[in-house]
Structure 1
Amino acid sequence: MSEQTLTGKTVVVTGASDGIGAEAAKVLAGKGARVLVTGRSAEKLKPVAEAVGTEPLIADFARFDDVRRLAAEVSERVEKIDILLNNAGGTFVPSKKTPDGHEPNFQVNHLVPFLLTNLLRPKLAAAGSSLVINTASIGNLLGKIVLDDLDYEHRRASEFPAYGTGKLMNIVFTRGIAQRWTGDGIVSVAVHPGPVGSSFGRDSWFIGLLYRTPLKRFGTISVPDGAAPLVMLAERGPDAELNGKYFSRFKVDGKENKQASDQAIIDGLWERSAEIVGI
């Protein structure tokens, strides 16, 4: 962690109720940034919001209407956004469709950050130079994007490949922003924070076994260690050298699925996502 100040910067952190989102929000606020925090649980988000000196913004990312309301509330509160940290996500049982009717790993891990970031684009552009950080995962290596069947209507979805596909989409979305929004001064980067022993995958028995039982001592890192790469990138800010990059913790060019650099996938995912969310 550096001593760099973020005074005068406005930061929005999703998935800030606990884990690395909450930790990153607190650290960035401690560096002088104005931090807005969002989460699904009002009870869990309230102490985080109090710690960073703001009001909690509650939204359920399984509902697009909540996301649109959230974007409107954020836009009412701030004149600009210097850093948008798309951190919300997790692993979900594919058969439990969202209220919007989508496979949950697809909606929560990809469609919602896509929608929210697009809705907040004017505020990102208003900063003159801004940064979008997308929390991805090494799990992207398990993913496979099928443009004609993004919602698993014609094939069976399994939890971990579906999660990996969502994380792959985070990287692809990052590349899409990098190619489309440079004229607005918006830089995008994706990052794998590492195997953090937090509430990640709270709905998954297997992830819970690995991450929150005595087994976690063999492979997980602490929440502050997991938040550190997010803080590092936020401190670095909208550096053009970051644009479209995928970090594995502090190392650029992490291991990624070959689809992450496929231009047809980058363009196709953007176009189909825009149609689904009504952008």
Structure 2
Amino acid sequence: MARTIVITGASDGIGAAAARQLAAKGERVVVVGHSPEKTAAVARALNAPHHVADYADLAQVRRLAAELLAAYPRIDVLANNAGGIFKTELTGDGFDRMIQVNHLAPFLLTHLLLGRLMESRAAVIQTSSIGAKMMGKLDINTFDGRTSRSFFMTYGDTKLMNQLFTAELHRRHHAQGLNAVSFHPGNIASSFPNRSYALLRLLMNSPVKHLLETSEDGGVRLAWLAEGRPGTTWQPGKYYENNEIPPDRKINAQAKDASLAAELWTRSERLLGLASAR
């Protein structure tokens, strides 16, 4: 029986690649993206349902959650794959755009779907990055959804948040049947930076692009987690690189801080106006 796999950020890049790969194996893929045209095109090619939401607008995230709850009695996998590198600017919700799109919006979506996910004994997958180790540094005492760091460092911060969110989601809800995991998709040549700084766009379209992996490669890693069996194929609550748990020296020390993960959860709830769900 086909499972229902919701993939955000699936209008392009590794999300679209994973959607194609999983649909080819008979899974029921739900395509979620921010571009109406591109999202519809990916879904049409797969004969799959689709939904559109711009994560820079939290009202659209709430609408997306309502649509998913109304349309799918089961959600077997939620892949929080949407994200990007953006200019340092505030959204209409008052948060740094990168922090909102990469952390607060997927946190909100997961929170709003939590009951359905637990009923379905679902897997929740977060697309993180080795950028968490290279650049991530979170001062929880000043965390307010904004940033005073460069856009590159803020990207690393958000990828660290993805790992902390995974660990705390596992701690809080694994006993209710939820399985959470985060992963680095690889050093991918994709359109991912095209909405950000000109220097990154130039780099990604230079000869260095040929040294990078493809979106299909990244899609394979996402699909491996989505179709795998938690506790057998992969260990819940962990972070993966190339389908393996990396050694401790390759993981940001803050990502292993349970108290930091708990406090990030609490502060994220507060910023989003959510009631605590333990």
**TM-score, normalised with respect to structure 1:** 0.92
Aligned to 1:90: 84
For residues 100-135 of structure 1, the C-alpha deviation after alignment (integer angstroms, 9 at most, x for no partner) is 1101111111001111011111111121x2211100
Name which of 235, 238, 241 aligns with 1:245: 238
Counterpart residue identity of residue 52, structure 1: L
Please identify runs of 4+ aligned residues in structure 1 that moved more than 4 A: none
Counterpart secondary structure, 1:120: helix
Residue 264 (structure 1) aligned with residue 259 (structure 2): yes
Aligned to 1:139: 131
Aligned to 2:47: 53
Name which of 21, 28, 51 aligns with 1:34: 28
Aligned to 1:221: 213
Q: Residues 130 and 237 of structure 1 are in contact (CA less than 8 Å); yes or no, is this contact kept in structure 2?
A: no
Aligned to 1:273: 268
Aligned length: 269
Counterpart secondary structure, 1:70: helix
Aligned to 1:12: 6
Name which of 125, 131, 139 aligns with 2:118: 125
Name which of 46, 66, 72 aligns with 1:78: 72
Q: Residues 83 and 102 of structure 2 are in contact (CA less than 8 Å); yes or no, is this contact kept in structure 1?
A: yes
Q: Residues 245 and 253 of structure 1 are in contact (CA less than 8 Å); yes or no, is this contact kept in structure 2?
A: no
Distance of 2:256 and 2:41 partners within structure 1: 40
Aligned to 2:18: 24
Q: Residues 15 and 22 of structure 1 are in contact (CA less than 8 Å); yes or no, is this contact kept in structure 2?
A: yes
Counterpart secondary structure, 2:193: coil
Q: Residues 92 and 104 of structure 1 are in contact (CA less than 8 Å); yes or no, is this contact kept in structure 2?
A: yes
Structure 1 runs not aligned, ≥5 long: 1-6
Distance of 2:80 and 2:145 partners within structure 1: 24
Percent of pairs with identical residues:
42
Aligned to 2:202: 209
Counterpart residue identity of residue 278, structure 1: G
Structure 2 runs not aligned, ≥5 long: none
Deviation of 1:208 after TM superposition, in Å, equals 1.8
Q: Residues 31 and 50 of structure 2 are in contact (CA less than 8 Å); yes or no, is this contact kept in structure 1?
A: yes
Distance of 2:71 and 2:9 partners within structure 1: 19
Distance of 2:168 and 2:20 partners within structure 1: 29
Distance of 1:237 and 1:82 partners within structure 2: 11
Distance of 1:194 and 1:48 partners within structure 2: 22
Q: Residues 77 and 123 of structure 2 are in contact (CA less than 8 Å); yes or no, is this contact kept in structure 1?
A: yes
Aligned to 1:4: none
Distance of 2:204 and 2:60 partners within structure 1: 29
